[in-house]
């Protein structure tokens, strides 16, 4: 029994403020968000192309590559096999269909990204239903008005769920990550599924426990301990004595059994058939956890606020406003997930965006809880900020595109040329049409807000989500050719493949020096180039910087170079193919 007096709740809301968000708008937001930038582009370094390389390696028939993710002959032991399994199956099933319209490579790229639709659906569905279950409970209800007029529990829960969904879509840091063929979309989706499972255990402990076990097991298979540990810690915190789920602790045994079974069904054969891979995995796992360095702390303080914008200020405000309700389910459960993710982040040796992403789901849910505690003036200020901020970003994207195409304004055009090198811009009218339609939709949304003065509390989150999606749509349409030119290795890979065809003698292998995993994966994906670990290979591919080559610091600089190549926009990276004598 909660000790708080329900009359002390910080939520203040009328029934009109909990008006139903139109479902077509919500559906449109989700579809545009996930489809924009997902297809019709090259895989970019590093995680995006590496995930695709493990899928293609599995389909190539490489020994144990289905069980143990590999990039050619290189063991990709940083993560688990889940993304490789799902992506490779999608390529196997859908590539023949896409090959009717595209080349075999482009068909594989498109098919590999179809699972992102699954991860996004799992993320949005879980976060909506989990928030709805918590929002309709009596502990989370707003203050009862003297003459009535407060929303019903069902309407209030739906309003919070809509806001949480829009806020996760409006989170700046995950928008690109949700569109890449890496483990990050799967980990975020599994975390949302685990949140839903814990919320479900309040009313249906059996089904919730089963779902929680599946979510933890899948998160572990997606990213090892870095994926599973935040969920394990969150579950442990949510079931502490005195918390609303304390009486359901016995069901955690079922969750543990299911998660352990899923993990062992992979780990036992992996340990049997791939001892080198599993030893590498254990070594990487051990090195992934450490006390962060001063540099890592600086990166966290610099990058994390931008990554979680705009949810983290609202999440902190929610914790303050609901500070007397930390044992209530609607606060305790998302707070447990936030603490679990934060502890894992702080225990990571080199925290970056994959670790930051585990904070996105609990931050969005907590941020939704802050909305009914805000005064009308504050909400209107946030609305104006969203309208001005995203209108400015959309205008900036358009201005940059005009400068790229027409060379005016001259200073902006010069800055763009410095970043894109000799890229030859040409307008793609279908993409430009979508950009114009997206811009008009944003203008219509702003006009609706200014003219109709809607009472729905979700209006601010709708503006934030709509603004971010508009900006992302403009980047994914107007700027995609330039971004592909800057970030794709397709051109330099084709040049290397032609050089190998010209200079490699029958039976000769190629080894590497200084080659990164993203570059190795890119050469494998685009042209099927595999590299050997044999120290006697007569051909050597170096990755180095032009500065080290000019200063004579390049290793084996005295051997004849058969080929040199680079992505022109990258001034700090080049490749050399040497014949060792």
Contact predicate 542/578, CB 8 Å: yes
- In terms of C-beta density within 10 A (0-12 exposed, 13-18 middle, 19 or more buried), how is residue 84 classed? buried
Residue 309 lies in a domain: yes
Q: How many CB atoms lie within 10 A of CB 547?
A: 12
Q: What is the mean pLDDT of residues 532-548?
A: 89
Say yes or no: 247 and 388 in one domain. no
Helix axes 360-370 and 184-200, enclosed angle (nearest 10): 50
Distance between CA 195 and CA 378 in Å, rounded?
Answer: 29
Tokens of 573: 């990276």
pLDDT in tens, 227-276: 999 999 999 999 998 888 988 899 999 999 999 999 999 999 999 988 88
pLDDT of residue 319: 96
Say yes or no: 149 and 161 in one domain. yes
Q: How many CA atoms lie within 13 A of 264 on its CB side?
A: 6
Average pLDDT, rounded, for the chain: 92
pLDDT of residue 553: 63
Q: How many CA atoms lie within 13 A of 77 on its CB side?
A: 21
With 90 as the cut, is the pLDDT of residue 98 above it? yes
pLDDT in tens, 60-94: 988 788 889 999 988 888 888 999 999 999 999 99
Last residue of a domain, one of 438, 456, 487: 487
| Residue 162 pLDDT grade (very low, low, confident, very high; cuts 50, 70, 90) | very high
pLDDT of residue 1: 40
pLDDT of residue 552: 67
pLDDT of residue 554: 66
Distance between CA 174 and CA 41 in Å, rounded?
Answer: 18
Say yes or no: 76 and 46 in one domain. yes
Last residue of a domain, one of 487, 515, 536: 487
Last residue of a domain, one of 350, 373, 396: 373
- The percentage of residues in the chain with a pLDDT greater than 90, rounded to a whole number, is 71
The domain in which residue 330 lies consists of: 38-373
Distance between CA 411 and CA 173 in Å, rounded?
Answer: 29
Say yes or no: 252 and 304 in one domain. yes
Residue 5 lies in a domain: no
pLDDT of residue 438: 96
Nearest to 332 by CA among 122, 152, 139: 139
With 50 as the cut, is the pLDDT of residue 3 above it? no
Residue position matching structure tokens 């814990």: 198
Residue 4 lies in a domain: no
pLDDT of residue 427: 82
Say yes or no: 393 and 520 in one domain. no
- In terms of C-beta density within 10 A (0-12 exposed, 13-18 middle, 19 or more buried), how is residue 242 classed? exposed
Say yes or no: 113 and 230 in one domain. yes
pLDDT of residue 190: 98
pLDDT of residue 557: 60
Q: What is the mean pLDDT of residues 4-27?
A: 83
* Per-residue exposure over 49-81, b if at least 16 CB sit within 10 Å of its own CB, e if not: bbbbbbbbbbbeebebbbbbbbbbebbbbbbbb
Say yes or no: 411 and 316 in one domain. no
pLDDT of residue 555: 63
- β-pair partners for 574: 544
Say yes or no: 78 and 206 in one domain. yes
How many domains are contained in the chain? 3
**Lowest mean per-residue pLDDT among 6-20, 114-128, 161-175, 276-290:** 6-20
End-to-end C-alpha distance for the chain, whole angstroms: 80
pLDDT of residue 325: 92
pLDDT in tens, 349-380: 889 999 999 999 999 999 999 999 998 888 88
Tokens of 399: 């201005």
Residue 526 lies in a domain: yes
With 80 as the cut, is the pLDDT of residue 558 above it? no
pLDDT of residue 526: 96
- The percentage of residues in the chain with a pLDDT greater than 70, rounded to a whole number, is 97
With 80 as the cut, is the pLDDT of residue 2 above it? no
Q: Which helix (H) or strand (E) holds 542?
A: strand 539-544
pLDDT of residue 273: 87
When computed from its CA atoms, the radius of gyration of the chain, rounded to whole angstroms, is 26
Distance between CA 174 and CA 67 in Å, rounded?
Answer: 28
- β-pair partners for 75: 70
pLDDT of residue 472: 96
């Amino acid at each position: 029994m909660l000790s708080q007096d329900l009359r002390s709740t910080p939520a203040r809301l009328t029934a009109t403020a909990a008006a139903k968000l139109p479902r077509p708008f919500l559906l449109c937001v989700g579809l545009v968000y996930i489809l924009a930038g997902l297809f019709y582009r090259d895989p970019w370094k590093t995680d995006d192309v590496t995930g695709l390389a493990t899928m293609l390696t599995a389909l190539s028939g490489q020994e144990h590559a289905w069980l143990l993710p590999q990039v050619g002959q290189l063991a990709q032991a940083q993560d688990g096999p889940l993304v490789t399994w799902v992506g490779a199956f999608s390529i196997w099933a859908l590539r023949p269909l896409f090959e009717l319209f595209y080349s075999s490579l482009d068909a594989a790229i498109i098919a590999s990204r179809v699972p992102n639709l699954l991860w996004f659906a799992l993320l949005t569905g879980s976060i909506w239903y989990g928030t709805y279950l918590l929002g309709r409970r009596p502990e989370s209800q707003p203050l009862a008005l003297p003459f009535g007029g407060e929303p019903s529990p069902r309407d209030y829960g739906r309003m919070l769920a809509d806001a949480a969904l829009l806020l996760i879509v409006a989170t700046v840091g995950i928008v690109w990550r949700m569109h890449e063929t890496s483990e990050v979309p799967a980990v975020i989706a599994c975390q949302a599924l685990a949140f839903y499972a814990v919320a479900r255990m309040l009313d249906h402990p059996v089904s919730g426990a089963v779902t929680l076990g599946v979510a933890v097991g899948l998160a572990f298979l997606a990213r090892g301990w870095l994926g599973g540990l935040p969920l394990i810690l969150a579950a442990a915190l949510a079931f502490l004595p005195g918390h609303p789920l304390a009486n359901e602790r016995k069901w955690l045994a079922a969750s543990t059994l299911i998660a352990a079974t899923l993990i062992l069904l992979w780990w036992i054969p992996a340990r049997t058939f791939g001892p080198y891979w599993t030893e590498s995995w254990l070594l990487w796992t051990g090195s992934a956890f450490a006390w962060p360095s001063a540099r890592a702390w600086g990166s966290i303080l610099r990058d994390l606020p931008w990554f979680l914008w705009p949810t983290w200020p609202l999440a902190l405000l929610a914790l303050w406003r609901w500070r007397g309700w930390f044992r209530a389910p609607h606060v305790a459960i998302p707070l447990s997930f936030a603490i679990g993710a934060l502890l894992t982040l702080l225990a990571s040796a080199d925290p970056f965006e994959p670790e930051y992403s585990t904070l996105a789901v609990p931050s969005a849910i907590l941020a939704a809880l802050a909305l009914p505690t805000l005064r009308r003036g504050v909400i209107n200020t946030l609305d104006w900020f969203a309208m001005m901020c995203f209108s400015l970003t959309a205008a900036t994207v358009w201005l940059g595109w005009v400068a790229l195409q027409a060379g005016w304004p001259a200073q902006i055009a010069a800055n763009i040329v410095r970043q894109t090198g000799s890229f030859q811009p040409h307008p793609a009218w279908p993409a430009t049409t979508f950009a114009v339609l997206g811009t008009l939709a944003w203008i219509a949304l702003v006009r609706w807000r200014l003219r109709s003065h809607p009472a729905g509390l979700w209006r601010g989150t709708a503006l934030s989500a709509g603004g971010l999606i508009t900006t992302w749509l403009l980047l994914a349409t107007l700027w995609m050719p330039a971004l592909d030119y800057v970030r794709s290795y397709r051109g330099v890979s084709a040049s290397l493949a032609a050089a190998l065809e010209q200079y490699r003698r029958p039976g000769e292998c190629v080894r590497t020096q200084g080659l990164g995993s993203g570059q190795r994966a890119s050469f494998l994906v685009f042209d099927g180039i595999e590299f050997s670990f044999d120290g006697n290979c007569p051909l050597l591919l170096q990755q180095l910087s032009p500065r080290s080559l000019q200063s004579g610091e390049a290793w084996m600089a005295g051997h004849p170079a058969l080929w040199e190549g680079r992505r022109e926009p990258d001034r700090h990276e080049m490749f050399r193919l040497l014949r060792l004598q």
